[in-house]
Structure formats: C-alpha cells, structure tokens
Amino acid sequence: MSRDRWHIVNPRGEKRVIVTRDLPGDRWVEILSAAGCRVEIFTGPAALSPDEIRQRIGARCDGVIGQLVEAWNESLFQALQGAGGKVYSNYAVGFNNIDLAAATRCGIAVGNTPGVLTEATAELAVALTLAAARRLGEAERHLRAGKWKRWLPQLFLGTQLRGKTVGVIGAGRIGAAYARMMMEGHKTDILYFSLRPKPDLEAFADAYNRFLTARQELPVVCRRAEAVADLLREADCVSIHTPLDERTRHLIDAECLALMKPDAVLVNTSRGPVVDEAALVAHCRRHPRFRAALDVYEEEPALAPGLADLENVVLVPHIGSATHWAREGMTILAACNVAAVLVGNPVWNRAAVDAFLRADPPPAAPSILNAEALNLPLVKAAD
Ligand code: DGY
C-alpha cells in the first residue's frame, strides 16, 4: 500500500512537515530539521492521490512541500488549515497547479522556487531550438535504425540560426535568459512579446552590439513586438515562456500556427496547455518543413494522438529544470520557504536568490506568492 512508504527524518521535531515526493540532495532536510521540523517524505513510486495527501495531513500538520503534478485546491488547503498548517511550498517555479486564492482564504502561505532553474530551463529551450532546427531527432533515429549508408551533401539539411529572428513569447526570467543565450551564442535577432518592455534585455543587446561592431560584425536586433500575431508572422523560431493561466491557455491555437512561416520552429518549455496540441499535430502533418520541440504537454504524461508519430517534432519528458544544480537549488528554496514561515521569519521576495544557496542562508522565506495578501512581513531593504 503506497501510503506506507514514508521515510521519517528528525522524528522528535515539534513541527510536522510532509513532503509528497522524495527530493534530491540533503541540504533541504537539514534546513527543515534545524527549524525543528519532523520531516515525513513519501518514497513510493506512484504519485499520491488527493485523498492520500489529505489522509497523511491528518489532524496535525504544519507545512507541506508538494509537486506540480498535484492539484492543490480548496479541499487540500482546507485540510491543511484544519490541521493547523501555515505553509505550502511547490517544488517548482510554476504554480498553475495551485488555487492561490483558496490558499489565501485558508491563511496558508504558498511558496515557489524561482531563480535557481532559470539557466537550466533556458538551456533546454536552446537545446530544443537547435535539435528542431538541425533535425537531431530525425537524424539520430535514422542512424540508430541502421539507415545511414554514407555522407551525403543533402542529408538532413536544416536551418542555421545565425541571423534568424527568434520570437520569445514571455520575457520573464527564463524567456530573457533564453533570449540572451540565443543572441550571444547564436547571433540571432530577438523579437519578444511581453506585457511590459524589458529594458535590461534591450540593454544587453546594446552592450553586445558594441562588442560586435568593434569587431566589424553585424549587430543583432532586439525589440518588443506589439502583438503575438506580429511575432508569429515574423519569427523563424518561436519559444514560449509564459506562465499558464486563463489568458495563456491555448494561446497558440490553429489560427496562430497558420500565421507562422511554413518552415518555422516552435519550442515549448513552459506549460503544455499554452499550445493546442491537437492543432499542432494537424499543423505538423500539413507542413512537413515546420518543426516543433516540446518539453511539456497538455495532459502529461499522455501525448495528443499522432504527436509521437511525427518525424518533424522533438519530444522530451518535462526536463526543463532537470540539472543536479537546479533541482537541488529548488529543494533548498522550498525548504527555506517552509522553515521560515514556520519559525516566523520574514519574506525575501527579491529576484536574486543566490544567498539561499550559501552554507548560511538568510533567515527568510525566499519566495511566497501570497505574502502581500496574507500581510506577511518582508525583509527590509537594507537587510
Ligand atoms: C517548474 O519549476 O515550474 C518546472 O516546470 C519544473 O521545474
């Protein structure tokens, strides 16, 4: 019975913290133990059901570290509130699995893990862009199937990125890191769409252009698109970095795909439902020179019918943040979120979180999404 597969650390700890999936590294357990927590870690192979989580919360539970595959809704937050709980931290930066308003109504602080997975996820988006543009999946399958007979001048010709226009939808931390990597690493132009202009990203392009022009190289262009439709029409590659919410669900649908160039590349490392997957399958079938590379899916781990049969798509299983460094950093932020709220420390909520990766992290919760709504104290500017 899966509910019996629990590992208990610091059994005499006064505060009870449940962790719904074993996490990498040891530092996070030390942080929770040092804050006086008894840590109960689920080690079973399958995901816990909402009922199993509710039962484990039981009559007394102070905090939980949970997973993006669990729907943290009103009912779970009420169970946590009823057990005297104060805090839940997602082991993820994305929080579309959480009903934040319900958590706030229940007085539960909700943490996430931004900052430490920015480069890992941006790197995967770059890798997928290259894999799709240079047809790596097709080429590898060809070779492994024993079909490669000789070097040929026209074997797997793909798209070279230098000088191409890369569209970035959502230029937050990860989107901006991806844009910088593409500009500097591959000398692409960037056309980004975000609700507000990104002066830091444009300043990066200006500084890089001083370097390029001093070497008599062509400068790159980095500008904001007025609308997603403009970006889709102009870009050779489009990479999606928006959070998932009601405004971005099926942001890329059949109509949007029809605006894109017939040989464009579409990359998604954000959340699956931002793209209408059935429409993407139909589009890729109709346009064999169009390529898509996906890390995330509408109904993970299921794929839309036909997706896995397409030669012109690259598919990986939601591994954007899957580096040892990023995943261990995420555990530290999640543990610090829970420990800080339980001992009454203030909230950090600043973009830079590197201080939490040092041996002696600040006495603060790195990222609490509803800190303002719950009126939680913030770390003072000079601290
Ligand atoms: C996140 O953090 O939201 C990613 O999807 C998993 O790391």
Which tens digit of pLDDT belongs to each residue from 318-329? 999 999 999 999
CATH of 3-116+322-357 given 3.40.50.720, 3.40.50.40, 2.60.120.10, 3.40.50.300: 3.40.50.720
Which tens digit of pLDDT belongs to each residue from 171-188? 999 999 999 999 999 999
Average pLDDT on 198-202 reads 98
The pLDDT score that the predictor gives to residue 4 is 72
Segments in the chain forming alpha helices (H): 27-34, 50-57, 74-82, 100-105, 118-133, 136-144, 173-186, 199-214, 228-234, 254-259, 277-286, 324-343
Ligand 1 centre to CA of 310 (Å) is 26
300 catalytically annotated:
yes
* Residue from 180, 224, 318, 327 carrying the catalytic annotation: 318
Which tens digit of pLDDT belongs to each residue from 19-41? 999 999 999 999 999 999 999 99
Which tens digit of pLDDT belongs to each residue from 217-235? 999 999 999 999 999 999 9
pLDDT band at 382 (very low <50, low <70, confident <90, very high): low
Helices (H) and strands (E) in the chain, counts: 12, 13
Whether residue 82 is predicted with pLDDT greater than 50 in this model: the reply is yes
Closest residue by Cα to residue 190 from 124, 125, 257: 125
**Domain boundaries in the chain?**
3-116+322-357, 119-315
CATH of 119-315 given 3.40.50.720, 2.40.50.140, 3.40.50.300, 3.20.20.140: 3.40.50.720
Contacts of 150 (CB under 8 A, 6+ apart): none
- Residues 340, 356 contacting (CB under 8 angstroms): no
Residue nearest to ligand 1 atom 6, measured at CA: 92
Contacts of 232 (CB under 8 A, 6+ apart): 167, 238, 256, 259, 260
From 321, 332, 333, give the residue whose CB has the most ligand 1 atoms within 8 Å, as the site to mutate: 321
**CA 327 to ligand 1: nearest atom:** 7
Which tens digit of pLDDT belongs to each residue from 99-136? 999 999 999 999 999 999 999 999 999 999 999 999 99
Q: 286 φ, ψ to 5°?
A: -75, -25
318 catalytically annotated:
yes
The pLDDT score that the predictor gives to residue 1 is 41
Ligand 1 centre to CA of 321 (Å) is 6
Per-chain mean pLDDT for the chain: 97
Q: How many CB atoms lie within 10 A of CB 113?
A: 30
The three-state secondary structure class of 88 is strand
186 catalytically annotated:
no
Instruction: Give percent above pLDDT 90 in the chain.
Output: 98
From 21, 65, 93, 331, give the residue whose CB has the most ligand 1 atoms within 8 Å, as the site to mutate: 93
* Residue from 271, 283, 291, 327 carrying the catalytic annotation: 271
Rounded CA separation 65/87 (Å): 9
Residue nearest to ligand 1 atom 1, measured at CA: 92
Ligand 1 environment, Cβ below 6 A: 68, 92-94, 117, 320-321
pLDDT band at 381 (very low <50, low <70, confident <90, very high): confident
